[in-house]
Structure 1
Amino acid sequence: MSDDTLQETLIQTCRRFSDQLAMADSSGAKVTFGEALAKCIFLTGRLRSIWSDQEKVGILVPPSVGGALLNWAALLMGKIPVNLNYTLSQVGITSCIEQCGITDVVVSGKLMKRLKLEIPVRVHLLEDLSKKPSLMEKLRVGLLEKCTSANGLLKLLGGSQSGSDDLATIIFSSGSTGQPKGVMLSHRNLICNVEQVSGVHSLVQSDRMLGVLPFFHSFGFMATIAGPAVAGFGCAYHFNPMEAKVIGPLSEKHGVTIMIATPTFLQFYLRGLKPEQLKNLRLVVVGAEKLPKHLADAFEKKFQCRPLEGYGSTECSPGVALNGLETNQSGSVGSLLHDMEAKVVNPDSGIELPIGEAGLLKVKGPNVMLGYLGMPDKTAEVLQNGWYDTGDIVRLDEEGFLWIEGRLSRFSKIGGEMVPHGNIEETLNELANQNEQIFAVTGVPDEKKGERLVVIHTANEELLDEVLKKFSDAPIPNLWKPKPGQFLSVPKLPYLGTGKLDLKGLQQIAES
Structure 2
Amino acid sequence: MPLDKPWLCHYPSEITSTYEYPKHNLALFLIQAARDYPERTALHFMGKKINYEQLLEAAYRCANMLKSLGVKRGDRVAIMLPNCPQTVIAYYGTLMIGAVAVLTNPLYKEREIEHQLNDAEAKIMVTLDLLFPRVHAVKQQTGLEHIIVTSIKEFLPFPKNLLYPFKAKRSGANLDVPYGKGVHSFHSLIQLASQEAVCVDVDAVNELALLQYTGGTTGAAKGVMLTHSNLIANTLQVSRWFYKAKRGESIYLGALPFFHVFGMTVLMNLSILTAGMNILIPKFDAKDILESIQRLKPTMFPGAPTMYIALINHPTITNYDLSSIEMCISGASSLPLEVQTKFEQLSGCKLIEGYGLSESSPVTHANLLWGKRKNGTIGIPFPDTDAKVVAPDTGEEMPVGEIGELVVKGPQVMKGYWKRPEETSKVLRDGWLYTGDMARMDEEGFFTIVDRKKDLVIAGGFNIYPREIEEVLFEHPHIQDASVVGIPDEYRGETVKAYIVLRAGKHVTEEELNVWCRARLASYKVPRHYEFRAELPKTIAGKVLKRALLEEETTALMK
TM-score, normalisation: structure 1 = 0.90
Q: d(CA) in 2 for partners of 1:275 and 1:257?
A: 19
1:494/1:505 contact within 8 Å kept: yes
Q: Does 1:410 align with 2:410?
A: no
2:44 to 6, 24, 28: 24
How far apart are 1:276 and its partner, in Å? Answer: 4.5
How far apart are 1:463 and its partner, in Å? Answer: 4.9
2:39/2:52 contact within 8 Å kept: yes
Q: d(CA) in 2 for partners of 1:179 and 1:497?
A: 17
Partner of residue 210, structure 2 = 169
Q: Does 1:6 align with 2:15?
A: no
How far apart are 1:161 and its partner, in Å? Answer: 4.1
Q: Does 1:490 align with 2:533?
A: yes
Per the alignment, do residues 357 and 275 of structure 1 end up closer, same or farther by CA in structure 2, a change over 3 Å counting?
Answer: farther
Partner of residue 222, structure 2 = 181
Q: Does 1:259 align with 2:259?
A: no
Q: d(CA) in 1 for partners of 2:509 and 2:301?
A: 32
How far apart are 1:411 and its partner, in Å? Answer: 0.7
Count of aligned residue pairs for this structure pair: 488
What letter is aligned with 1:201? F
- Within a 5 Å distance, the mapping from 1:377-396 to structure 2 comes to 377-396=422-441
Q: Does 1:323 align with 2:367?
A: yes
1:186/1:369 contact within 8 Å kept: yes
What letter is aligned with 1:473? A
Q: d(CA) in 2 for partners of 1:407 and 1:382?
A: 14
Partner of residue 80, structure 2 = 60
How far apart are 1:355 and its partner, in Å? Answer: 1.7
Per the alignment, do residues 254 and 461 of structure 1 end up closer, same or farther by CA in structure 2, a change over 3 Å counting?
Answer: closer
1:454/1:510 contact within 8 Å kept: no
Per the alignment, do residues 198 and 52 of structure 1 end up closer, same or farther by CA in structure 2, a change over 3 Å counting?
Answer: closer
2:24/2:201 contact within 8 Å kept: no
1:341-382: CA deviations, max 9, x gaps? 111111122111122222111110000001001100000000
Partner of residue 289, structure 2 = 247
Q: Does 1:308 align with 2:364?
A: no
Q: d(CA) in 2 for partners of 1:428 and 1:464?
A: 12
Q: d(CA) in 2 for partners of 1:289 and 1:72?
A: 27
1:51/1:104 contact within 8 Å kept: no
Per the alignment, do residues 250 and 458 of structure 1 end up closer, same or farther by CA in structure 2, a change over 3 Å counting?
Answer: closer
Per the alignment, do residues 233 and 119 of structure 1 end up closer, same or farther by CA in structure 2, a change over 3 Å counting?
Answer: farther
Question: Equivalent residue of 1:232, what SS?
Answer: coil
1:480 to 494, 503, 525: 525
Q: d(CA) in 2 for partners of 1:204 and 1:167?
A: 30
1:380-438: CA deviations, max 9, x gaps? 000011100011111111211111111111111222222111111211221x224731x
Question: Equivalent residue of 2:474, what SS?
Answer: helix
Q: d(CA) in 1 for partners of 2:190 and 2:431?
A: 47
2:337/2:471 contact within 8 Å kept: no
Question: Equivalent residue of 1:500, what SS?
Answer: coil
Question: Equivalent residue of 2:436, what SS?
Answer: strand
Q: d(CA) in 2 for partners of 1:391 and 1:399?
A: 23
1:339/1:365 contact within 8 Å kept: yes
Q: d(CA) in 2 for partners of 1:224 and 1:291?
A: 19
- Within a 5 Å distance, the mapping from 1:69-148 to structure 2 comes to 69-112=89-132, 118-120=137-139, 121=144, 122-127=146-151, 128-131=185-188, 137=193, 140-141=194-195, 144=196
Q: Tell me the C-alpha RMSD between the 2 structures.
A: 2.2
2:414 to 341, 359, 369: 369
Q: Does 1:42 align with 2:61?
A: yes
Question: Equivalent residue of 1:6, what SS?
Answer: coil
1:25-66: CA deviations, max 9, x gaps? 22x222111111111112233333335357001110101112
Q: d(CA) in 2 for partners of 1:93 and 1:65?
A: 22
Choose 60-69 or 243-252, whichever is displaced more.
243-252
Q: d(CA) in 2 for partners of 1:37 and 1:341?
A: 36
TM-score, normalisation: structure 2 = 0.82
What letter is aligned with 2:463? M
Q: d(CA) in 1 for partners of 2:84 and 2:268?
A: 11
1:130-169: CA deviations, max 9, x gaps? 24965x75xx42xx25xxxxxxx32xxxx33453431110
How far apart are 1:275 and its partner, in Å? Answer: 6.2
Per the alignment, do residues 215 and 309 of structure 1 end up closer, same or farther by CA in structure 2, a change over 3 Å counting?
Answer: same
Partner of residue 159, structure 2 = none
1:215-251: CA deviations, max 9, x gaps? 221111112332233232221111112x123223333
What letter is aligned with 2:296? H
Per the alignment, do residues 57 and 448 of structure 1 end up closer, same or farther by CA in structure 2, a change over 3 Å counting?
Answer: same
Partner of residue 495, structure 2 = 452
Partner of residue 443, structure 1 = 486
Partner of residue 167, structure 2 = none
2:294/2:321 contact within 8 Å kept: yes
Q: Does 1:237 align with 2:237?
A: no
1:208/1:234 contact within 8 Å kept: yes
Q: d(CA) in 2 for partners of 1:116 and 1:170?
A: 19
1:23/1:234 contact within 8 Å kept: yes
Question: Equivalent residue of 1:462, what SS?
Answer: coil
Give unpaired runs (5+ residues) of structure 1.
Answer: 146-152
2:286/2:307 contact within 8 Å kept: no
1:294/1:435 contact within 8 Å kept: no
Choose 176-185 or 83-92, whichever is displaced more.
83-92
2:378 to 305, 308, 333: 333
What letter is aligned with 1:124? I
How far apart are 1:190 and its partner, in Å? Answer: 0.8
2:252/2:298 contact within 8 Å kept: yes
Partner of residue 330, structure 2 = 286
Per the alignment, do residues 275 and 207 of structure 1 end up closer, same or farther by CA in structure 2, a change over 3 Å counting?
Answer: farther
Q: d(CA) in 1 for partners of 2:75 and 2:43?
A: 27
What letter is aligned with 1:412? V
Per the alignment, do residues 402 and 465 of structure 1 end up closer, same or farther by CA in structure 2, a change over 3 Å counting?
Answer: same
Question: Equivalent residue of 1:110, what SS?
Answer: coil
Partner of residue 14, structure 2 = none
Give unpaired runs (5+ residues) of structure 2.
Answer: 1-20, 152-184
How far apart are 1:209 and its partner, in Å? Answer: 1.1
Question: Equivalent residue of 1:48, what SS?
Answer: helix
1:169-192: CA deviations, max 9, x gaps? 011011101000111111111111
Q: d(CA) in 1 for partners of 2:463 and 2:190?
A: 62
1:192 to 224, 227, 233: 233
1:201 to 242, 249, 253: 242
Question: Equivalent residue of 2:340, what SS?
Answer: helix
2:217/2:546 contact within 8 Å kept: yes
How far apart are 1:96 and its partner, in Å? Answer: 1.0
What letter is aligned with 1:171? Q
Partner of residue 150, structure 1 = none
